[in-house]
Amino acid sequence: MTHSSISRRTAIATLAALGSGAVFAQGVASRPATVRVGYQKSSTLIAVLKAQGVLEKQLAPLNVTLSWHEFTSGLPLLEALNLDNLDISADVADTVPVFAQAAGADLTFLAQEAPSPSAQAIVVREDSPIKTVADLKGKKVGFAKAAGAHYLLIAALDKAGLSFKDIEPAYLTPADGRAAFEKGAIDAWVVWDPFLAAAQRQSKVRVLADGAGIASYQRYYLASSKFAKARPDVLRVVYAELEKTGKWVKQNPREAATLLAPVWGLDAATIEQANARRSYAVRPVVPEALGEQQRIADAFLAEKLLPRKIDALNVALFKPGA
């Protein structure tokens, strides 16, 4: 990691990705008519809400409309949030806020999804000679930088008596990782659902390790602190709908998968398999639930991937009932 995870180049790329049509907030004092929401392909609950148009309906009485902005990974999403190019971020892996904190981002934790340790894994091709995590020594491993997969790899290597320096990292987006994995350009791939489920169903892969016992994989929803202070009414609505949608997805797996299939460009069976591994249990973020965040931060710092030590508890927490 460079000394600042928010580079000028990334900032420019983020602005370009948002497009010239993005509506920018007018500042703390005003009540923005348009709320800008960033999300990723793995942002299941937001994808469901977006497809159903639920949030727009619930926020209409508050005189709020939404603009949606898709990102390929969590780090640029939180960078956009910190640069005041977004107001709310859909769920990102537990690792991502750690990097944002280290870069001095002023973000508020809106909600947390309960652990989903099997929703990310280290995979190899079915015919690979690699049988254990220890066999990854000297091998080229692909994963997205700062993603939950990044920490899963560090934690799994540590458990196997190896360090991050023992492997050759290849920082790749999920799409590039899949392509590199299938043509044999990398020896192993660390990825999360729904990309993991798609690889399992469409390619011959073998799981070396998932997060069970080493990385609980709690995903976080965030907001810019400026927006959180200005519009807690909006955040209360968003939180309530996320909580409700999480329960609906778990109670109606087939219906949820059918709804998401055209949105994600994946077949419903793959989505149902992926969703079965995610908890989707949305809950408030409390200090007691941030213990693993500190372990993640310390692990990245030990590998010199984080520019400075952080206190994982030194964050603003939204209280949905307040």
Query: pLDDT band at residue 118, thresholds of 50, 70 and 90?
Result: very high
* Domain covering 117-210, topology: D-Maltodextrin-Binding Protein; domain 2 (3.40.190)
For 157, the token pair is 């290597």
The answer to whether 8-115+218-317 and 117-210 have equal CATH topology is: yes
Mean pLDDT of the chain: 90
40-233-235 Cα angle (round to 5): 20
Residue 24 has pLDDT above 70, yes or no: no
* Domain covering 8-115+218-317, topology: D-Maltodextrin-Binding Protein; domain 2 (3.40.190)
Residue ranges of the domains in the chain?
Answer: 8-115+218-317, 117-210
The answer to whether the CB of 267 falls within 8 A of the CB of 142 is no
* Amino acid symbol at 37: V
Distance CA 55, CA 237 (A): 8
**Per-residue pLDDT reduced to its tens digit, 123-178:** 999 999 999 999 999 999 999 988 899 999 999 999 999 999 999 999 999 999 99
- Mention every residue, 6+ apart, whose C-beta is less than 8 A from residue 46: 37, 39, 90, 91, 242
Chain center to CA of 301: 20
**Per-residue pLDDT reduced to its tens digit, 284-314:** 999 999 999 999 999 999 988 899 999 999 9
